[in-house]
C-alpha cells in the first residue's frame, strides 16, 4: 500500500504528469503506510522507574511511590499484586519486603519533560499527559522511512539519554496504538496494522477498551460480556439505552474505530490539585488553609498559561463515609486567588458538614477562557489592575525563589504544622496533575 506520488498535482491528469518528467523521490516500498499512524509512548511504571534509576540498590526490588495510596509501583511489586490506587496498608500486607518512597514531583517533571522533548523529534503533532505521549505520525513515513524502525530508535534514544524504559504502541488510531502498547508492556514495541484489527481485537478482554472502567466493566460482566468480540454482538441502540451516550462510543471502539485527533492542548480541560492530610483533620480552618494553598498552586498555573477559569470544583474525602464533591461557576472568569478562593471556601463549608474528620481535599478549575479575551470589570478598573499587579509580582517572586518564599492568606495556618521546602509545603501526596 503506497501513497500517491506527492510531486504530482492533484488536478493534473496522470498522462500530463508523466510527460513533464519531474524527478520522483525514491519509493519507500512497504514502509510508508497510506492511512493514519498514531504512536503511543508510555513511560513504564514511571515514578518507580525514576527511583530505581536514581538509587541502583532498588533495581530488581519491589518499589512503591506514594503516600497513603500507591501512585506508581515497579513491575516487581506488581508481581505481588500491587496496583496504582491501592492503599499502602494493604500493599504492605501483599508485598512484605516492599520499599516505599514518598516521591518528588519536580524530579518526575524533569524526567517527563526530557522524554517528551525526544518524542517531539519524531512528529510535531504531540499530546502529552503525565507519563505518556501520543504522536500523530501520519505522513511522517516520507520523512523518516520505516516508522517501526524509527519507533525502535526512539525507544533506544530514550533509554540512552533519559535512562528510562518506555513502551511504544503503533496503530491506525489512538485507541489501537494504546492497546498495542499495553499488550507488550514493559519495554515493548508493537504495531497493530489496519488489516490486523479483526484478528487482534475480538479476543481481547473487554476492559482493554478505553471507557471501560470499574462501573462499566461490572455492568458488562453482569451481561456476560468478557471479550471485545462479545460486545460486538450488542446493537448500538441497546448499548445507548444501557450506558447512555458512552454506549455509542463503546459500539465504535469495539470495532476498532476511534476518530479522536492528536492535538497539543494549549488550553487544558482542567487544572486540579489535591492532597491527603498527614493526619485526619477536623478543624475546618485547617482544611480551608490547605484548600487555599492548593488553590494558589492551581490558579498560579492558570495565570502562567494566560487563562482564567469559570468553574471551580471542590472535593473532600471523609475518613469513614467517602467522598463529597460540589462545583459552582464564578460570575465572570477569573485568575485571581481571592475570587477563586471565595468560591472554593464556600463549597468547602457546604460540603464539610458531618462530624467526621477529613482525609483528603482537592480542587479543580475548568471552563477556561484565554486571558486576553476575557471581559474586564467596567466599574472597578483601578482595583482590578492593582490586584493583577499584586499576583503578577507574587508569581515573579515565586518563580525566582520558589513557591514558599511567600505564604499568603489562610495557608498561614499550615505554618508549624507542615514541613516546607523551596517548592512549598511538603504534601503527603505530591500533587502531580499535569
Partner 1 sequence: MRMERLDEAVKVRADFQGGRVAPLLIKRKTQDLKVHQVTARWEDRRGAHKIFYFSVQVPSGDVYQLEFHSGDLTWKLNSVMLDG
In angstroms, what is the minimal distance from the CB of 400 to partner 1? Answer: 4
Going from the C-alpha of 70 to that of each of 76, 91, 207, 369, the distances in angstroms are 14, 8, 21, 34
Q: Counting contacts by CB under 8 A, is residue 427 touching partner 1?
A: no
Q: How many chain residues interact with partner 1 (CB under 8 A)?
A: 18
Give first-to-last CA distance, the chain, whole Å.
39
Q: Counting contacts by CB under 8 A, is residue 154 touching partner 1?
A: no
Question: Applying CB under 8 A, which part among 78-86, 131-139, 371-379, 394-402 lies near partner 1?
Answer: 394-402
Residues sharing a CB contact under 8 Å with residue 124, sequence separation 6 or more, in sequence order: none
User: Vertex 103, ends 99 and 104: CA angle to 5°?
Assistant: 155
In angstroms, what is the minimal distance from the CB of 129 to partner 1? Answer: 19
CB atoms within 10 A of CB 431: 16
Instruction: Measure CA 270 to chain center.
Output: 11
Half-sphere exposure of 76 (CA within 13 A, CB side): 16
Which residue in the set 54, 381, 385, 434 belongs to the binding site for partner 1 (CB under 8 A)?
54
Nearer to partner 1, 163 or 229 (CB): 163
Q: 48: which 3 cell numbers?
A: 518507580
Q: Counting contacts by CB under 8 A, is residue 106 touching partner 1?
A: yes
Q: Counting contacts by CB under 8 A, is residue 160 touching partner 1?
A: no
Which residue in the set 163, 217, 229, 409 belongs to the binding site for partner 1 (CB under 8 A)?
163
Nearer to partner 1, 99 or 290 (CB): 99
What span, in angstroms and rounded, lies between the C-alpha atoms of 253 and 223?
18
Nearer to partner 1, 120 or 325 (CB): 120
34-53 residues in contact with partner 1 (CB under 8 A) are 50, 53
Instruction: Confirm whether 132 is a catalytic residue.
Output: yes
In angstroms, what is the minimal distance from the CB of 99 to partner 1? Answer: 7
Question: Applying CB under 8 A, which part among 9-17, 82-90, 351-359, 399-407 lies near partner 1?
Answer: 399-407
> Can you count the helices (H) and strands (E) in the chain?
16, 14
In angstroms, what is the minimal distance from the CB of 56 to partner 1? Answer: 6
CB atoms within 10 A of CB 112: 23
In angstroms, what is the minimal distance from the CB of 55 to partner 1? Answer: 5
Going from the C-alpha of 375 to that of each of 185, 333, 334, 371, the distances in angstroms are 48, 8, 10, 9
Which residue in the set 46, 47, 111, 293 belongs to the binding site for partner 1 (CB under 8 A)?
111
Q: Counting contacts by CB under 8 A, is residue 56 touching partner 1?
A: yes
Instruction: Measure CA 358 to chain center.
Output: 26
Q: Counting contacts by CB under 8 A, is residue 346 touching partner 1?
A: no
In angstroms, what is the minimal distance from the CB of 386 to partner 1? Answer: 25
Q: Counting contacts by CB under 8 A, is residue 399 touching partner 1?
A: yes
Nearer to partner 1, 53 or 242 (CB): 53
User: Vertex 300, ends 323 and 319: CA angle to 5°?
Assistant: 15
Q: Counting contacts by CB under 8 A, is residue 110 touching partner 1?
A: yes
Q: Angle, to 10 degrees, between the axis of helix 236-243 and the axis of helix 214-222?
A: 120
Nearer to partner 1, 72 or 295 (CB): 72
Closest CA to 129 of 304, 261, 257, 264: 264
Nearer to partner 1, 194 or 395 (CB): 395
Q: Counting contacts by CB under 8 A, is residue 55 touching partner 1?
A: yes
Q: Counting contacts by CB under 8 A, is residue 418 touching partner 1?
A: no
In angstroms, what is the minimal distance from the CB of 268 to partner 1? Answer: 21
User: Vertex 74, ends 69 and 75: CA angle to 5°?
Assistant: 125
Q: Supply the DSSP symbol for 227.
A: B
Question: Applying CB under 8 A, which part among 56-64, 260-268, 339-347, 358-366 lies near partner 1?
Answer: 56-64
> Under the phi-then-psi rule, with left for phi > 0, alpha for psi from -120 to 50, and beta for the rest, what region is 256?
left
Q: Counting contacts by CB under 8 A, is residue 99 touching partner 1?
A: yes
Selected catalytic residue, list 132, 150, 296, 339: 132
Q: 190: which 3 cell numbers?
A: 508493537
CB atoms within 10 A of CB 126: 19
C-beta separation of 342 from 289 below 8 A:
no
Nearer to partner 1, 50 or 290 (CB): 50
Provide the binding-site residues for partner 1, judged by CB under 8 A: 50, 53-58, 99, 106-107, 110-111, 114, 163, 399-402
Active-site positions? Answer: 132
Amino acid at each position: 500500500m503506497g501513497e500517491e506520488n506527492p510531486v504530482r498535482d492533484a488536478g493534473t491528469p496522470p498522462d500530463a504528469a508523466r510527460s513533464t518528467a519531474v524527478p520522483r523521490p525514491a519509493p519507500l516500498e512497504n514502509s510508508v503506510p497510506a492511512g493514519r499512524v498514531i504512536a503511543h509512548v508510555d513511560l513504564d511504571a514511571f515514578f518507580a522507574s525514576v527511583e530505581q534509576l536514581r538509587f541502583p540498590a532498588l533495581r530488581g526490588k519491589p518499589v512503591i511511590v506514594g503516600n497513603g495510596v500507591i501512585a506508581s509501583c515497579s513491575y516487581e511489586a506488581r508481581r505481588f499484586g500491587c496496583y496504582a490506587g491501592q492503599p499502602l496498608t494493604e500493599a504492605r500486607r501483599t508485598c512484605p519486603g516492599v520499599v516505599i518512597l514518598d516521591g518528588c514531583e519536580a524530579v518526575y517533571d524533569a524526567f517527563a519533560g526530557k522524554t517528551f522533548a525526544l518524542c517531539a523529534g519524531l512528529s510535531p503533532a504531540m499530546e502529552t499527559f503525565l507519563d505518556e505521549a501520543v504522536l500523530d505520525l501520519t505522513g511522517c513515513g516520507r520523512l523518516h522511512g520505516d516508522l517501526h524502525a524509527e519507533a525502535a530508535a526512539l525507544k533506544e534514544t530514550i533509554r540512552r539519554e533519559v535512562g528510562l524504559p518506555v513502551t511504544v504502541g503503533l496503530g491506525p488510531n489512538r485507541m489501537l496504538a494504546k492497546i498495542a502498547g499495553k499488550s507488550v508492556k514493559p519495554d515493548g514495541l508493537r504495531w497493530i496494522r489496519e488489516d490486523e484489527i479483526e484478528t487482534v481485537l475480538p479476543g481481547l478482554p473487554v476492559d482493554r477498551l478505553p471507557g471501560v472502567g470499574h462501573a462499566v466493566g461490572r455492568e458488562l460482566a453482569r451481561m456476560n460480556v468478557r471479550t471485545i468480540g462479545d460486545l460486538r454482538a450488542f446493537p448500538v441502540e441497546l448499548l445507548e439505552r444501557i450506558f447512555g451516550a458512552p454506549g455509542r462510543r463503546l459500539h465504535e471502539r469495539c470495532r476498532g474505530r476511534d476518530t479522536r485527533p492528536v492535538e497539543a492542548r494549549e488550553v487544558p480541560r482542567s487544572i486540579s490539585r489535591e492532597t491527603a492530610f498527614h493526619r485526619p483533620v477536623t478543624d475546618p480552618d485547617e482544611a480551608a488553609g490547605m484548600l487555599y494553598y492548593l488553590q494558589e498552586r492551581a490558579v498560579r498555573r492558570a495565570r502562567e498559561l494566560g487563562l482564567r477559569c469559570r468553574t471551580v470544583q471542590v472535593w473532600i474525602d471523609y475518613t469513614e463515609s467517602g467522598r463529597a464533591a460540589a462545583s459552582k461557576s464564578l460570575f465572570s472568569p477569573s485568575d485571581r486567588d481571592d475570587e477563586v478562593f471565595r468560591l472554593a471556601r464556600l463549597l468547602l463549608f457546604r460540603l464539610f458538614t458531618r462530624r467526621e474528620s477529613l482525609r483528603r481535599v482537592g480542587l479543580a478549575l475548568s471552563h477556561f477562557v484565554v486571558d486576553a479575551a476575557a471581559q474586564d470589570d467596567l466599574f472597578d478598573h483601578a482595583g482590578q489592575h492593582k490586584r493583577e499587579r499584586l499576583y503578577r509580582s507574587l508569581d515573579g517572586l515565586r518563580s525566582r525563589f520558589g513557591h514558599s518564599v511567600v505564604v499568603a492568606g489562610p495557608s498561614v495556618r499550615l505554618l508549624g504544622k507542615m514541613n516546607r521546602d523551596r517548592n512549598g509545603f511538603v504534601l503527603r501526596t505530591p500533587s502531580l496533575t499535569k
